[in-house]
Amino acid sequence: MGRAETDAFDPTAYYTDAYFSGGHMDGYADYLGCERVLRREFARTVQFIRQRRPSGRLLEIGCAYGFFLEEAKRYFDVSGIELAEDAAAYCRRNGLRVVRGTPGEQTLSELGRMDIIVLLDVIEHLPAPGETLALCARQLDPGGLIVLTTGDFGSAAARWAGPRWRLMTPPQHLWFFSAGSIARLSERLHLRVENLDHPWKIVPLSLISFQLRRLLKLKSGPAARATQIGVPINLFDAMRVVLRRSTAP
């Protein structure tokens, strides 16, 4: 496990609408403009989850503008937590139950017990991921699932790239996990690793271009049509993990 040292970092000030619209080079070029591509990928994630739990109450932590929740609500009773006020308000305007804030004990308690808790590329952003996972584990009903995706710090790509790894982007990414560190953290919380793989992902071309420009220190903007194009990609440096609660933490 790796940890970034960041001084005086304020997540509330950082994760605003600017983070989703090109305001930070380590954010998104145009999240809203990529809705069609993002929902196509999220629909695949929903089907992956349904193979393990076809229905129930589902919470997404870090739900952004609610595109995953829109796909999931066809099968689940959904709710979300989102730090960015603009994104949370967008979700609520579209009829989604989304609380603005962080996944603390009070917020999770208010939302109630869950069958599934989802953190898609979120855990690496959290100031205290172990504490958050512990709260999530307590909020799950027996047999419930936590589904998360995050970079694989132990992957060949991460080891080869070193400090230039594409996911080494503090203060955006604060933590860097390997398969082993995820397993050890989960075991302490009475969560069993039911699945760990490195799936292909459909990524907006505009986001790929945005990240490449950051790595190459270029400043040109993305073409508008690039938000509508999705590219299957897999560098085998990002994990998808399913954790199942078998006993009370």
pLDDT of residue 249: 44
**Is 88's pLDDT higher than 50?**
yes
Whole-structure pTM value: 0.93
Phi, psi of 145 (to 5 degrees): -120, 145
Average pLDDT over residues 12-20: 86
List the structure tokens of 220: 């040109």
Comparing 48-62, 80-94, 197-211, 219-233, the range with the smallest average pLDDT is 219-233
pLDDT of residue 172: 83
pLDDT in tens, 162-192: 988 989 888 888 899 999 999 999 999 999 9
Q: What share of the chain is helix, strand, coil (3-state, %, to 5)?
A: 40, 25, 35
pLDDT in tens, 95-132: 999 999 999 999 999 999 999 999 999 999 998 999 99
Question: In which element (H, E) is residue 93 found?
Answer: helix 85-93
Q: Identify any residues that bridge with 166 across adjacent strands, giving them in sequence order.
A: none
Looking only at the bridges linking them, the beta strands covering 238-245 and 191-197 are antiparallel
Distances in whole angstroms, Cα of residue 44 to Cα of each of 34, 39, 66, 106, 230: 16, 9, 15, 31, 13
**Average pLDDT of the chain to the nearest whole number:** 90
Query: Percent of the chain beyond pLDDT 90?
Result: 69
Instruction: Provide the terminal-to-terminal Cα distance of the chain, rounded to the nearest Å.
Output: 22
Q: How many residues does the chain have?
A: 249
Band the pLDDT of 146: cuts 50, 70, 90. very high
